[in-house]
Chain A
Amino acid sequence: MQLIKDKQVTQDDWAYIIDETPLKADYIIVSLVRWQQERDQLSRVKHLGLRLASDIDLEEIANDLSHFQLIELYFPVFTDGRAFTHTRLLRSRYGFTGDIRVSGDFMRDQVFYLNRVGVSSFELNDQDNAEQVIQSMHDFSVDSQESVA
């Protein structure tokens, strides 16, 4: 899986751990359900990520954010625009300064917006051309809203 982080193509050090499969020592991303069930054990992981579905109510995890170095927002389908709001709120309201990653069915033509709301890394599909995706983050050199992130 290709990864773009902070506008650079990079090695993905993280692994998503499917529910009910064994954990790894470090750099793991888990689901909300797993976090809620195995909170004590997971709290000891040094680099921990949380994957959120698009129907998440952020209030549910607001007090837990300090446990995570990474939040992954998963696009079930590219038209589901809730992740744009989630990212913006994670940054501006909940003060999350770690990595916000998007995965799933988002497309290159959305990364300009995603970058603007505060997404910092992008998990690409194999057919994506990483250089072009990075280029699309600069589709526009100006904008009409105040800085949102």
Chain B
Amino acid sequence: MYQYNDKDQTLIDERVIQFRDQTERFLKGEIADDKYRALRLMNGVYVQTHAPLLRVAGPYGLLSSKQIRKLASIARDYDKGFCHFTTRQNIQFNWPALERVPDILEELASVQMHAIQTSGNCLRNTTTDQLAGVAVDELEDPRPYCEIIRQWTIFHPEFAYLPRKFKIAVSASQQDRAAIRFHDIGLQLVNNEQGETGFQVFVGGGLGRTPIIGKVIRPFLEKKHLLSYLEAILRIYNLYGRRDNKYKARIKILVREAGLAEVRQKVEAEWALIKDKLELSAERISDIQAQFTPPDYQANAAQDTSYADNIANNTDFATWAKYNTAEHKTDGYRAVYISLKAPDSPPGDCTHTQLDAIADMAELYSFGMARTTHRQNLVLADIKQADLFAVWQKLDALQCATPNIGKATDMICCPGLDYCSLANAGSIGIAKEINEALDSMDYVHDLGDLKINISGCMNGCAHQSVGHIGILGVDKKGVEWYQITLGGSSENDAAIGHRLGPAVSKKDVTQVIKTLLEVYVEQRFNEDESFLATVRRVGVAPFKEKTYATH
């Protein structure tokens, strides 16, 4: 894991002082509301329904056990005992008092954490694959590039007041687990014909009100040009992105309105002028890579036989291992998903007790590290197969072992009307109801891979437009209604979901989801045909017909 040097530490320590001063000035009435609003947003502070919300940065999702313990203590001391993991691999506290936020920042800074640029119209947290560094389908570890980008983005003086927020994601694996096609810039590590590794650069993707799939602006970018190319894109965006309408201010709209060809021409012309100045040296890349070297894996880990025995003897363990662990590059190791989608808990929430226990487990079994995922779960990436049984037992005791990763009840869900002042409708309650309706784990497993994403408003924080089933809360004359979409995907086969039909009322949502799943089971070619594949083959019509015939 990247360890802060003196400069990094000084920067975040000075940030604490700066934000404390800004907040004190605001509380004394010395900064106008609109100006403090921009300042607090750039420090992840929203004013929500009940209290301010503080969003803490989780750079590319990597957390040390020490950091997790700090999150637990903050949850205890400043919040109501829990935190929430977001789709940007960040961490949210829902109940801090504004005047205590500077104290929280000071606590965070003591473990190399901060809330810088987690909101606002600026360069946001860079995200990546939760299996980075251990995935079997990976070209190389993407995290060193994420770290290089993190350093470049933090307080970049030219790009602190962009037309709108700007998100970058990096993927190095064949299967895209970082939704790079739905980012302002998506970077895919690829090999060119000469066998050199570089980046395929996507631009102009995004979700929210106007979901758009990113387009390839450059098929291959040499590694040494990473920062100059990002800088060229950002400069063109800063100069030409729309500032007259915040709903049309993302780079996706610039790309759509001006056309990819024109944006590319401008970016490439700009890049030609700066590429030699901002070159990344091979030494710089290898220095950062040295901070992400693989941990000391045990060479004989694969010789363990207890894992196979436990699989054979304990069905519950076998089921969990099948659904909640992933293959690892190193023989004898697996990556373990910590499911934050227990049936009766809001998706992505984690209590301080769970956090402390997860920190202990990370130390005991996974080299002191954990990762957050963009589907709001956690990962212990380096578990020896001999330890899997003990890990499962402990996770089970924490209610973090629901065997549902990537399945129907592993829903992405925003805070919705319960917390968020933007929301038009509840989302946590809908997730809970669907969970109750899908109470048979065998049925959930039979349904196979299924991504249900639920957002409480069209800002789409829970990425409903790319859910295999998307549920979007809308307000109709003060009543909560839900629009359903089918067939979205945020992976390599990126797609925006199609509308099922007219919105359905709150009381019907769960029944509609059940109906959709029944139609899928009827329509699927065989058990290997996933929900998404079936929707793509048969279209929305059979789903629509059954839904609106019944309701």
Stretch of B151-159, B192-200, B332-340 with 4 or more beta carbons under 8 angstroms from chain A: B151-159
> Is A43 on the interface with B (CB-CB < 8 A)?
no
Q: Determine the residue in chain B with the shortest Cβ distance to A112.
A: B157
List of A residues within 8 angstroms of B11 by Cβ: 140, 142-144
> Is B73 on the interface with A (CB-CB < 8 A)?
no
> Is A146 on the interface with B (CB-CB < 8 A)?
yes
**A88–B160 Cα gap in the complex (Å)?**
13
> Is A95 on the interface with B (CB-CB < 8 A)?
no
Which residues of chain B in 124-155 are interfacial with respect to chain A, using CB atoms and an 8 Å cutoff? Answer: 151-152, 154-155
> Is B191 on the interface with A (CB-CB < 8 A)?
no
> Is B421 on the interface with A (CB-CB < 8 A)?
no
For the complex formed, measure the closest distance between the CB of A63 and the CB atoms of chain B, giving whole angstroms.
Answer: 17
> Is B235 on the interface with A (CB-CB < 8 A)?
yes
Q: Determine the residue in chain B with the shortest Cβ distance to A88.
A: B158
Q: Determine the residue in chain B with the shortest Cβ distance to A127.
A: B30
> Is B161 on the interface with A (CB-CB < 8 A)?
yes
Q: Determine the residue in chain B with the shortest Cβ distance to A107.
A: B35
Which residues of chain A in 44-88 are interfacial with respect to chain B, using CB atoms and an 8 Å cutoff? Answer: 78-82, 84-85, 88
List of A residues within 8 angstroms of B157 by Cβ: 84, 88, 112-114, 116-117, 143, 145, 148
Which residues of chain A in 104-149 are interfacial with respect to chain B, using CB atoms and an 8 Å cutoff? Answer: 107, 109-110, 112-114, 116-117, 139-146, 148
Which residues of chain B in 236-252 are interfacial with respect to chain A, using CB atoms and an 8 Å cutoff? Answer: 238-239, 243
**Contact A146–B278 (Cβ < 8 Å):** yes
List of B residues within 8 angstroms of A24 by Cβ: none
**A142–B15 Cα gap in the complex (Å)?**
11
Assuming the A-B contacts A79-B38, A109-B35, are A144 and B162 also in contact, with contact meaning beta carbons closer than 8 angstroms in the complex? no
**A107–B243 Cα gap in the complex (Å)?**
19
Cβ proximity bits B1-25 to A, threshold 8 Å, 1 near / 0 not = 0000001101100110110001000
List of B residues within 8 angstroms of A141 by Cβ: 10, 14
Contact of B155 among A79, A93, A114, A140 (CB under 8 A): A140
Contact of A144 among B39, B151, B160 (CB under 8 A): B151
List of B residues within 8 angstroms of A107 by Cβ: 31, 35
Give the B interface residue count (CB, 8 A): 32
**A146–B278 Cα gap in the complex (Å)?**
8
Cβ proximity bits B496-513 to A, threshold 8 Å, 1 near / 0 not = 000000000000000000
Which residues of chain B in 87-123 are interfacial with respect to chain A, using CB atoms and an 8 Å cutoff? Answer: 121
**Contact B238–A81 (Cβ < 8 Å):** yes
For the complex formed, measure the closest distance between the CB of A112 and the CB atoms of chain B, giving whole angstroms.
Answer: 8
For the complex formed, measure the closest distance between the CB of A56 and the CB atoms of chain B, giving whole angstroms.
Answer: 10
Contact of A93 among B35, B163, B273, B278 (CB under 8 A): B273
For the complex formed, measure the closest distance between the CB of B538 and the CB atoms of chain A, giving whole angstroms.
Answer: 47
For the complex formed, measure the closest distance between the CB of B141 and the CB atoms of chain A, giving whole angstroms.
Answer: 21
**A144–B8 Cα gap in the complex (Å)?**
8
**Contact A84–B160 (Cβ < 8 Å):** yes
**A146–B156 Cα gap in the complex (Å)?**
10
**A17–B15 Cα gap in the complex (Å)?**
40
**A80–B159 Cα gap in the complex (Å)?**
11
Which residues of chain B in 13-66 are interfacial with respect to chain A, using CB atoms and an 8 Å cutoff? Answer: 14-15, 17-18, 22, 31, 35, 38-39
Most chain B CB within a 10 A radius of its CB, from A81, A84, A117: A81
For the complex formed, measure the closest distance between the CB of A146 and the CB atoms of chain B, giving whole angstroms.
Answer: 7
**Contact A85–B158 (Cβ < 8 Å):** yes
List of A residues within 8 angstroms of B38 by Cβ: 78-79
For the complex formed, measure the closest distance between the CB of A79 and the CB atoms of chain B, giving whole angstroms.
Answer: 6
**A80–B243 Cα gap in the complex (Å)?**
8
**Contact A142–B239 (Cβ < 8 Å):** no
For the complex formed, measure the closest distance between the CB of B8 and the CB atoms of chain A, giving whole angstroms.
Answer: 8
List of B residues within 8 angstroms of A142 by Cβ: 7, 10-11, 14
For the complex formed, measure the closest distance between the CB of A4 and the CB atoms of chain B, giving whole angstroms.
Answer: 17
Q: Determine the residue in chain A with the shortest Cβ distance to B5.
A: A142
**Contact A84–B18 (Cβ < 8 Å):** no
**A110–B18 Cα gap in the complex (Å)?**
12
Q: Determine the residue in chain A with the shortest Cβ distance to B22.
A: A109
**Contact A81–B278 (Cβ < 8 Å):** no
**Contact A80–B161 (Cβ < 8 Å):** yes
List of B residues within 8 angstroms of A116 by Cβ: 157
**Contact A78–B161 (Cβ < 8 Å):** yes
**Contact A84–B238 (Cβ < 8 Å):** yes
**Contact A110–B278 (Cβ < 8 Å):** no
List of B residues within 8 angstroms of A84 by Cβ: 157-161, 238
Contact of B235 among A85, A114, A143, A145 (CB under 8 A): A85
Most chain B CB within a 10 A radius of its CB, from A84, A109, A139, A148: A109
**Contact A109–B39 (Cβ < 8 Å):** yes
For the complex formed, measure the closest distance between the CB of A70 and the CB atoms of chain B, giving whole angstroms.
Answer: 21
List of B residues within 8 angstroms of A144 by Cβ: 7-8, 11, 151-152, 154-156
For the complex formed, measure the closest distance between the CB of A127 and the CB atoms of chain B, giving whole angstroms.
Answer: 9
Most chain A CB within a 10 A radius of its CB, from B31, B160, B278: B160
**A133–B11 Cα gap in the complex (Å)?**
19
For the complex formed, measure the closest distance between the CB of B262 and the CB atoms of chain A, giving whole angstroms.
Answer: 15
Other than the given A79-B243, A140-B18, A142-B11, 15 more pairs (CB < 8 A) read: A78-B161, A80-B161, A81-B163, A82-B238, A84-B238, A85-B235, A85-B239, A93-B273, A110-B160, A113-B158, A116-B157, A139-B14, A139-B18, A142-B14, A144-B152
Q: Can you list the 7 inter-chain pairs with the closest CB atoms, starting with the nearest? A: A81-B161, A116-B157, A113-B157, A144-B151, A142-B7, A84-B158, A139-B18
18 A-B pairs, CB-CB below 8 angstroms? A78-B35, A84-B158, A84-B238, A85-B158, A93-B273, A107-B35, A109-B22, A110-B160, A113-B157, A113-B158, A139-B14, A140-B10, A140-B155, A143-B11, A143-B155, A144-B151, A144-B154, A145-B157
